Amino acid sequence: MTSTPTRAAEVPPSAPERPAVRVPGTWARRAAAALSFRTIGAVYVWLVIVVLFTVWAPDTFPTMITVKQVLNGNAVAGLVALSVVPPLAARVFDLSIAFTMSLTSVLTAHFMVSAGLGPGTAIALAMTAALLVGVVNGIVVVVLRVDSFIATLATGALIQSLITMVTNDSSITGVRLLAEPFASIAQLDAGGVTLPVLYLLLAALAIWFLLEHTATGRRLYATGFNADAARLQGVRTDRLRFLTLVASALLSGFAGVVFTASVGSGSPTAGTPYLLSAYAAAFVGATQLRAGRFNAWGTVLAVLLLGTGITGLGLATSAQWAASLFTGSVLIVALVLTGGRIALPTVLRRRAKTRPDPITSKET
């Protein structure tokens, strides 16, 4: 009996690979979303401000000197504004930043001029004082459960009393504050752009990386959005809030050291003018790039926007009230935009649901 040879199983030919289908308009939609007013509205407002002051003060405003003035003049303000971003991300207010900045300013000058210490030692002692302020704020807010708004305002008053005790409400000046190497901390420049601008960029980069690319940043945002839910998920919300207050004090304290090196004196009111502008920049920044979230680059963008407006007003008019009016107006508009993005669509949807159907109402 002969066996018939079996034929090998035929494998159906594989279908040719199709090239990846590109959805037309995908990149266009992404670009439109990235360039929309909802995402970078401050950039468009910034451009309008530039055009306005270019027409208003054509001889002084549209120059390279003005650009460098905006960058150099707002670097310290940017550092102070960035100092409130981590606490705000965790829904904590730190109103003591202005007093902490003034404290490190006068302590650095006092240790160098009155105590005769070197710049490194004076700065280390001043930053230690800033660290203690952050720890005290953390204990009062997190451990003692005092509202952060009231607690940091109270610690700010205590800091101000210490400043008055050290300075008797007088600025501390001395030749050592104007000499190298201390003065180079803020006055060394490259092409007219001083070192504080570099400090600002490095601080923004560090905070951006922390908030956007680490688990700690995600936990901070979770704490700010809903602390109870985050706690149930195992997030140590109290520790995060404590650390944000310490980081805020350190960064604002460093801004005070930079301020002293830039002006050559320790001022008991060094941080007072920066409190409103810092929160204005932080809240305006929360409407940009990462809408609804306090973020570093949005804050830097807002600082430059505010700085451009204030510089333009200074070049176009000598009214002393104009800068405060501009900063306050921008803060109000930012708060309206931030609240409106969340509340207005919800209100419209609710009204649409409760609005009666006209056909049904006619039939009834």
52: Cβ–Cβ under 8 A, 6 or more apart, which residues?
Answer: 312
Query: pLDDT digits over 323-349, tens only?
Result: 788 878 877 776 676 555 444 444 445
Are the beta carbons of 87 and 152 closer than 8 angstroms? no
Residue corresponding to tokens 């590109």: 22
- Judge whether 293 and 221 are in contact, CB under 8 Å: yes
pLDDT digits (tens, 9 = 90+) for 261-284: 999 999 999 999 999 889 989 998
Q: How many CA atoms lie within 13 A of 305 on its CB side?
A: 31
Long-range residue pairs from 171-175, CB within 8 A, at least 24 positions apart, any chain: 171/265, 171/266, 171/267, 171/268, 172/106, 172/109, 172/110, 172/113, 172/114, 172/265, 172/266, 173/109, 173/113, 173/264, 173/265, 173/266, 174/109, 174/112, 174/113
Tell me the C-alpha distance between 327 and 137, whole Å.
27
Are 89 and 243 in contact, with CB atoms under 8 Å apart? no
Helices 195-213 and 215-225 pack at an angle, to 10 degrees, of 80
DSSP element (H, E) containing 58: none
pTM surpassing 0.85? no
Residue 156 CA, chain-centre distance (Å), reads: 20
Mean pLDDT across 299-319: 88
Interior angle at CA 137, CA 292 and CA 80, nearest 5: 55
Residue with tokens 């830039």: 262
State the DSSP code for 177: G
Which of 9-13, 129-133, 247-251, 302-306 has the lowest average pLDDT? 9-13
Dihedral (CA of 41, 43, 48, 53) sign: positive
- Averaged pLDDT, 286-311: 90
**pLDDT at position 292:** 81
What is the rounded (10 degree) CA torsion for 189, 103, 151, 283?
-20
pLDDT tens digit string along 100-140? 999 999 999 999 999 999 999 999 999 999 999 999 999 99
